[in-house]
Amino acid sequence: MSDVSRPNLPRVRTPPTDPVLDELWSDPPGLLGKLKAVQNDAIGKRLILTGFFFLLLGGSVDSVVMRLQLAVPNNDLVSPQLYNELFTNHGSVTMFLVILPIFEGFAILLLPLLLGTREMPFPRLGAFAYFTFLMGGLLYYSATLFSAVPDAGWFAYTPLSGLEFSPDLAIDFWVLGLGVAEVGAIAAAVEIIISVLKMRAPGMTLSRMPLFAWAFLVTAFMILFAFTPLIIGSMLLELDRGFGTQFFNVDAGGSSLLWQHLFWIFGHPEVYIQFLPATGIISMVIPTFMRKKMVGHTWIVGSMVAIGFLSFGLWAHHMFTVGLSPIVGSFFAGASMVIAIPAGVQIFAWLATIWAGRPRWGTPLLFTVGFLALFVLGGITGVMVASVPFDLQAHDSYFVVAHLHYVLIGGVGFPMFAGVYYWLPKMTGYSLDDRLGKWNFWILFIGVNVAFFPMHIVGLMGMPRRVYTYPEGLGWETYNLISTVGVFIIVAGIGVFVVNLILSHRRKVPVANNPWDAPTLEWATPSPPLQHAWSIPPIVTSRYPLWDQDDLYSGSEGDEALVEALGQWPLRWRAVLATSTADAEPEEVFRVGGPSIWPLITAFGTVTIFAAELLKLRLGALAGMAVIVIGAIGWNWPDSPPITEEEELEFEMAHKIPVRVGGSLTVARWGMGLMNLFVGIAFMSILLAYFYLRLDNPAWPPPGIENPSPLAIISATALIGVAGWGFRRGLRRIREGDGDGLLRGTGVALLAALGGVVIAGSHFIGLEFSSQDHAYGSVFHTLGWFILVVTTAAIVMTALIVYWTVRGEYSERRHVPVSNVGFFWTTAIIVWVIGFGVLYLTPALT
């Protein structure tokens, strides 16, 4: 049987081009080089280390102080204000600045190795994701310097988080700092999706793809669908706080619950966004350490996809106590419980693999077993809180604190430890001490149970969450004291981990390429891997290539010649292979972006907008926007290809595969597709707010406000239609090589669209009601301006296309940006028509 560990790994070749390519793919030296770095190793490590840094800075100190405060009743170790800041920070940091970036770092670091490719598809986007995450985190933390520390919980419920009840800047730091970090999370998600779908080694069909990649594929899509509504929700909250809109003001047509819906549409999927990557790690560790291929591979894939979908249908189970009708309540209870089935499938697939294999007791397996025990317990209490009547007791009590920590520490933290013990030696080249690893595990496992198990009981006895103290005599004392002791045991466990890291760094005991006898591609590379990971891209014919394949270079004749050739050519630019989505057939060879300062500058522009809003410097926001536009232009500026079209053609002829030094066609198309998806989700989130507010209000528009006349918008719409038509014509012309036709078409598009936006914009400026008059006015103006901003973005892109057309940048072969902008125009027009249709036509429907 092939599941028996193989003494002979597949042959791995080290071609003479290794050092040349390693050099080519290295980030430039020096400080400036570090700022320009885009290489996936660097970005991945930075994300993980920064996440860990934020965990130490916020997540862990907070919990120790909180548990000290709650060790005894009526304690006054900390003031109520400080306590509220601590638990707000603890939740916000762990949910936004720790788990997600660490996992995205895992993905960016490991995916190229696991998938058998050299780089992520958009290295500069990865750098941008890192810098926005870092700057967002720092902006959030800078609240401390201004003594305006967020104190309304990680959920920031309105109206408590509104201006009336939180008048200082604390909530603005929360909204804006984390908002920047959310932008980074989305950018990294786009990067992850495309790498998994388009950058796999030849032969790695979807069914041969490792479960780790599946987990991140589903997760990254969920990030896109979940974080976008949160960004929109945060924007509405900030509009209320900074611009006097009325979305959440109950006295002017706003709603106290709209925020909760927007927040939990993000917040519940967020739990699975954190959990699925963890299962991806577990599904890699179990086969290796049980020396057995995963049982039920397809079942696991199916259940991850199912969890991804289901998790968006059960947000309201966080809102059972707001007074939902029984019908709504039972629907969400049922939906929440159904998720136990895909979760159960995963658990039993792991159990089946454990039954079928023989364990090798390394630290990663120990953490995996600990994960299973803790997560199943947390899952069982999860089914309980999905039961509406029981949740009415458990909700916002310490029972839920217990439940969520079992799920997040057991279900997410333990797999992270398993992953670090599993992969760190590969990345550093130095082994970790297995005996210390076992101490680390047992102390942590005991600590988690001592700290969190008693919380189930004290919660059901009536202890609410988020209280800075509690009275004596209610029988809560002992349980709280035990929990406090437990937290110190956890700290000791983490201490052992840190010691182990330091010792590994000091002792420098080198590890072999494949110390665990693991089956997946990354273990065929040296420890640590080369910058470009693969000189000769591997060819995959099995889910477990290192167990099943004799070598990594055998496939179809064409593939063999292609990967061989890619080991020799090109040596002057960063070439990667894109493969087809389902079958991983080679599709094109393209050039990925190299080191660049522009991602940093663009990230800086992004954070400037948010920081300017914080300081109420509205001109600063314009400056930030200008920096972003300049940054994006510099980032995408076409630089002279390091080879001629003839050289491209030669390789194309030899290997029957397009070579695109100007950037990939398919990958860029996917990138634009995901950007359109982002715009679409943001648009739908605003529509959701529109219809929620509309149903919440007896009259729409409210008394005193008339439906505005649609005439101006109708004429603007006609112009936008002309613009879309013009752009399409231009695109068709350049496909035939007609550069003048492109110029005419895009020129018409530019002028017509400008006219349309000016007409619609001046109509909006002249409206008789403002965004501050009633929630109707707020949502009307917000949706309208959103549409105009999307169209303006299309106009800016069109202007650049016109400019580059004049300079003769485009040809029949090289015009990827034109078709991408055409794609964006489609989205912009759909948003325009539906958006203005909702604003001007639907009020007549009632």
> Of 460 and 617, which has the nearer Cβ to other proteins?
460
Stretch of residues binding other proteins (CB under 8 A), selected from 458-466, 484-492, 510-518, 786-794? 458-466
Query: Distance (Å, rounded) from C-alpha 484 to C-alpha 190?
Result: 41
Interface with other proteins (CB under 8 A), residue from 75, 142, 387, 542: 387
Note whether 10 and 524 are within 8 A (CB): yes
> Of 690 and 825, which has the nearer Cβ to other proteins?
690
Cis ω before 570 (30° cut-off from 0): yes
Token pair listed for 733: 């012309």
Note whether 453 and 465 are within 8 A (CB): no
Restricting to residues 37-96, name those near other proteins by CB under 8 A.
79-81, 84
Q: Is 469 in the site for other proteins (CB under 8 A)?
A: yes
Q: Is 354 in the site for other proteins (CB under 8 A)?
A: yes
Site map 471..510 versus other proteins, x via CB under 8 A: x-xxx-----------------------------------
Query: Distance (Å, rounded) from C-alpha 204 to C-alpha 200?
Result: 6
> Of 40 and 158, which has the nearer Cβ to other proteins?
158
Interface with other proteins (CB under 8 A), residue from 24, 64, 138, 338: 338
Interface with other proteins (CB under 8 A), residue from 198, 317, 318, 395: 395
> Of 14 and 321, which has the nearer Cβ to other proteins?
321
Interface with other proteins (CB under 8 A), residue from 347, 446, 712, 751: 347
Interface with other proteins (CB under 8 A), residue from 30, 323, 703, 766: 323
Stretch of residues binding other proteins (CB under 8 A), selected from 250-258, 306-314, 686-694, 745-753? 250-258
Interface with other proteins (CB under 8 A), residue from 138, 352, 499, 684: 352
> Of 428 and 778, which has the nearer Cβ to other proteins?
778
Contacts of 282 (CB under 8 A, 6+ apart): 350, 368, 371, 415, 418
Interface with other proteins (CB under 8 A), residue from 12, 35, 250, 830: 250
Stretch of residues binding other proteins (CB under 8 A), selected from 155-163, 595-603, 715-723, 761-769? 155-163
Interface with other proteins (CB under 8 A), residue from 7, 16, 30, 326: 326
Q: Which of 112, 523, 542 is nearest to 293 (CA)?
A: 542
| Residue showing tokens 């099995």 | 542
CA distances (Å), 43 to each of 155, 405, 416, in order? Answer: 29, 29, 18
Restricting to residues 252-281, name those near other proteins by CB under 8 A.
255-257
Query: Distance (Å, rounded) from C-alpha 838 to C-alpha 34?
Result: 48
Q: Is 165 in the site for other proteins (CB under 8 A)?
A: yes
Question: What is the nearest approach in angstroms of other proteins to the Cβ of residue 292?
Answer: 8
| Burial (CB count within 10 angstroms: exposed 0-12, middle 13-18, buried 19+), residue 407 | buried
Restricting to residues 665-724, name those near other proteins by CB under 8 A.
none
> Of 341 and 841, which has the nearer Cβ to other proteins?
341
- SS3 for 647-678 is HHHHHHHHHCCCEECCCCHHHHHHHHHHHHHH
> Of 474 and 699, which has the nearer Cβ to other proteins?
474
Interface with other proteins (CB under 8 A), residue from 73, 244, 296, 710: 296
Q: Which of 370, 359, 357, 503 is nearest to 424 (CA)?
A: 503
Question: What is the nearest approach in angstroms of other proteins to the Cβ of residue 139?
Answer: 24
Stretch of residues binding other proteins (CB under 8 A), selected from 158-166, 512-520, 734-742, 782-790? 158-166
Restricting to residues 356-375, name those near other proteins by CB under 8 A.
356-359, 369, 372-373
Q: Is 343 in the site for other proteins (CB under 8 A)?
A: yes
Query: Distance (Å, rounded) from C-alpha 284 to C-alpha 294?
Result: 9
Q: Is 384 in the site for other proteins (CB under 8 A)?
A: yes
Contacts of 585 (CB under 8 A, 6+ apart): 202, 579
Note whether 781 and 771 are within 8 A (CB): yes
Helix (H, G, I), strand (E, B) or coil at 155: coil
CA distances (Å), 656 to each of 76, 558, 652, 660, in order? Answer: 74, 9, 5, 13
> Of 51 and 329, which has the nearer Cβ to other proteins?
329
Note whether 614 and 176 are within 8 A (CB): yes
Stretch of residues binding other proteins (CB under 8 A), selected from 149-157, 172-180, 500-508, 775-783? 149-157
Query: Distance (Å, rounded) from C-alpha 610 to C-alpha 612?
Result: 5
Stretch of residues binding other proteins (CB under 8 A), selected from 346-354, 576-584, 718-726, 789-797? 346-354
Question: What is the nearest approach in angstroms of other proteins to the Cβ of residue 395?
Answer: 6
Question: What is the nearest approach in angstroms of other proteins to the Cβ of residue 151?
Answer: 8
Note whether 525 and 483 are within 8 A (CB): no
Interface with other proteins (CB under 8 A), residue from 243, 348, 442, 725: 348
C-alpha neighbours within 13 Å on the C-beta side of residue 4: 3
Stretch of residues binding other proteins (CB under 8 A), selected from 95-103, 150-158, 267-275, 489-497? 150-158
Question: What is the nearest approach in angstroms of other proteins to the Cβ of residue 182?
Answer: 22
Bridge partners (DSSP) of residue 15 are: none
Question: What is the nearest approach in angstroms of other proteins to the Cβ of residue 152?
Answer: 8
> Of 207 and 556, which has the nearer Cβ to other proteins?
207
Note whether 173 and 108 are within 8 A (CB): no
Question: What is the nearest approach in angstroms of other proteins to the Cβ of residue 301?
Answer: 13
Bridge partners (DSSP) of residue 715 are: none
Q: Is 376 in the site for other proteins (CB under 8 A)?
A: yes
> Of 299 and 569, which has the nearer Cβ to other proteins?
299
Interface with other proteins (CB under 8 A), residue from 130, 133, 216, 470: 470
Number of residues in the chain: 846
Stretch of residues binding other proteins (CB under 8 A), selected from 148-156, 477-485, 720-728, 801-809? 148-156
Q: Is 388 in the site for other proteins (CB under 8 A)?
A: yes
Helix (H, G, I), strand (E, B) or coil at 579: strand
User: What is the DSSP annotation of 397-444?
Assistant: BHHHHHHHHIIIIIIIIHHHHHHHHHHHHHHHSBPPPHHHHHHHHHHH
Question: What is the nearest approach in angstroms of other proteins to the Cβ of residue 321?
Answer: 5
Interface with other proteins (CB under 8 A), residue from 49, 322, 512, 714: 322
- Type of residue numbered 374: L
Query: Distance (Å, rounded) from C-alpha 726 to C-alpha 750?
Result: 9
Q: Give kind and range of the element (H or E) at residue 103.
A: helix 99-115
> Of 384 and 630, which has the nearer Cβ to other proteins?
384
Termini Cα distance of the chain: 69
Interface with other proteins (CB under 8 A), residue from 56, 380, 615, 758: 380
> Of 469 and 792, which has the nearer Cβ to other proteins?
469
Helix (H, G, I), strand (E, B) or coil at 576: strand
> Of 381 and 596, which has the nearer Cβ to other proteins?
381
| Residue showing tokens 């994701």 | 129
Query: Distance (Å, rounded) from C-alpha 586 to C-alpha 576?
Result: 11
Phi and psi angles of residue 543, each rounded to the nearest 5 degrees, phi first: -65, -25
Question: What is the nearest approach in angstroms of other proteins to the Cβ of residue 377?
Answer: 6
What sections of 205-296 are H helices per DSSP? 211-243, 258-290
Rg of the chain (C-alpha set): 28
Question: What is the nearest approach in angstroms of other proteins to the Cβ of residue 324?
Answer: 10
> Of 369 and 757, which has the nearer Cβ to other proteins?
369
> Applying CB under 8 A, what is the total number of residues that bind other proteins?
80
> Of 57 and 337, which has the nearer Cβ to other proteins?
337
Q: Is 767 in the site for other proteins (CB under 8 A)?
A: no
Residue 535 is given by DSSP the state S
